[in-house]
Structure 1
């Protein structure tokens, strides 16, 4: 076997810009009021009896930049959302978050072992650069039903109050269907949907009526506005990585780049990606490169560098 020696590039990252960054802290509480209409004719949501094993899966929450990144009504569910909706598992969803440059962090709260009650995530820190929240929890047992919110912004737009963060507010929650399994009963054993459908509202579809199934409250605790020196070139992210050949260079601060180059493990330039000025995301097709390990190098107009290992599968 031919021996390949990997070359390691030591890059010195030098701070480029000072800016004010606001962060906020919230308490997040999901309150479930899931019950039968026969028990509560006014506010009950289930038109059939709840199973004795009725419960909620761990609450999975992600903070991110762009709406519709992790799920969207009318679109197919990602494997992560499918897993939450069908099994209550969060590992696949966490991996989706951790490999997506649009996301900042994923937080998994506790589950709830009964139909009614609450799940609380204490001390959620949110950054101004990642102010959107997406959240999901399985309605269990069920084929593929869940509650969720998609890309709710915690920014108010009024910087004179709470440094621009929303004060305490509450959202009503309704059931969704992930479109991945068939069934109208509270059962975890169901055939796959064929063809696979899209995420849709489950309101007024058996076994639910049009009543809300719970609420989600964001309680504002505090916020800060700090001036700090940031290594902005280090904020540029490349995803997905590993990749099957297509990558995105996410440059949300619009740092002016002079070059984006790909080198093989021997240090030979194999690809140069065209730089477009004032574009926050560059898309590159690397499918002509062989599978393996590469080094992607970013260079700013004033000579600062960032290098990152890139794996093509």
Structure 2
């Protein structure tokens, strides 16, 4: 009887265990709560060491969902034209164009603004597991180029047993940032442009956001990601369930059937040791695939097939 090493057993287990890449969709509400105020007016949360302007407000919140971190917004780098326009004027059109043109991005959402220094803004979003990162920005208005932002918040938990892998409701602190595009250290929007432009920097503990509060964090607000519900695409899970191999066992010539409407990407044959022995060319739109394995020795093999949504491995026996 042939002995298998632990490495062989591990490879075999990896090959014969179905790996499903089912897409999940989750619904959240994003709730921004502003604490922007002076310590004299709000001893608990107030952070502005100078009086607020006569018309303090927040611009509409611009939200993007994307696939990888820092692909939409990154602190410590130069602000994009879209972020600059949000920070200086509270306008979202340029940022929307950037997100729409970014192949790493999925959705662009515009939330409400807030016509007061303190209050809440609630925005509903739908997030795909393929694009689990959320970034957002809103102008501290009026100001030279100050804004709040959440950069690349990943809503996936990694625990697929709970909420289909989505994080439950949680809250993060948000802080003021300087876009590095306009001069000024007070609440005024009419200032000279910074030349050359600087990078996005934190205004944490910097004037005018250096007031003393009991929380000692000098946060300007919070963002709560409120989990509502989620779904898992069963179509993806069952994508390869009905694909069949016949005859099996065989003399080496087999047919892979039930491929209609399956976006087949690849088909490969491995021996029992987990070594690739044959790559099989595939074409889109096949209803069946004839495979000639008569050149292989008798024995047990593994057929690994992949579609755009899932992967599975089936055992082959050649007599």
Deviation at 1:304, TM superposition (A): 3.5
Deviation at 1:79, TM superposition (A): 0.4
Distance 1:164 1:20 in 2: 11
**2:6 matched to which residue of 1?**
none
The residue matched to 2:199 in structure 1 has which SS? coil
The residue matched to 1:63 in structure 2 has which SS? strand
**1:50 matched to which residue of 2?**
52
The residue matched to 2:231 in structure 1 has which SS? strand
Q: Which runs of 5+ in 2 are unaligned?
A: 1-19, 211-216, 238-264, 267-280, 286-319
Q: Which runs of 5+ in 1 are unaligned?
A: 1-17, 231-254, 257-300, 306-313
Distance 2:73 2:22 in 1: 31
Give 1:121's match in structure 2, choosing from 123, 127, 130.
Answer: 123
**1:81 matched to which residue of 2?**
83
Distance 2:120 2:43 in 1: 22
**1:223 matched to which residue of 2?**
230
Tell me: CA distance 1:194–1:221, structure 2 relative to 1, closer, same or farther (3 Å).
same
- Residues 1:141 and 2:121 aligned together: no
How many residues align? The count is 222
* CA deviation string 1:283-311 (max 9, x = no partner): xxxxxxxxxxxxxxxxxx63349xxxxxx
Deviation at 1:172, TM superposition (A): 0.5
Distance 2:27 2:44 in 1: 36
Deviation at 1:86, TM superposition (A): 0.4
Give 2:221's match in structure 1, choosing from 214, 217, 225.
Answer: 214
Deviation at 1:194, TM superposition (A): 1.3
Distance 1:73 1:198 in 2: 8
Distance 2:283 2:186 in 1: 62
Distance 2:44 2:112 in 1: 29
**2:154 matched to which residue of 1?**
153
Deviation at 1:147, TM superposition (A): 0.3
- Residues 1:34 and 2:41 aligned together: no
Q: Which stretch shows the higher mean deviation, 18-27 or 75-84?
A: 18-27
2:143–2:187 Cα contact (<8 Å) kept: yes
- Residues 1:197 and 2:198 aligned together: yes
Deviation at 1:229, TM superposition (A): 5.2
The residue matched to 1:62 in structure 2 has which SS? strand
Structure 1 residue ranges (4+ consecutive) displaced by more than 2 angstroms after TM superposition? 40-43, 227-230, 301-305
The residue matched to 1:147 in structure 2 has which SS? strand
Give 1:302's match in structure 2, choosing from 265, 275, 282.
Answer: 282
**1:310 matched to which residue of 2?**
none
1:19–1:228 Cα contact (<8 Å) kept: no
* CA deviation string 1:219-272 (max 9, x = no partner): 111011112259xxxxxxxxxxxxxxxxxxxxxxxx67xxxxxxxxxxxxxxxx
The residue matched to 1:20 in structure 2 has which SS? coil
1:70–1:78 Cα contact (<8 Å) kept: no
Tell me: CA distance 1:229–1:161, structure 2 relative to 1, closer, same or farther (3 Å).
closer
Deviation at 1:43, TM superposition (A): 2.2
1:267-286 equivalences under 5 Å are: none
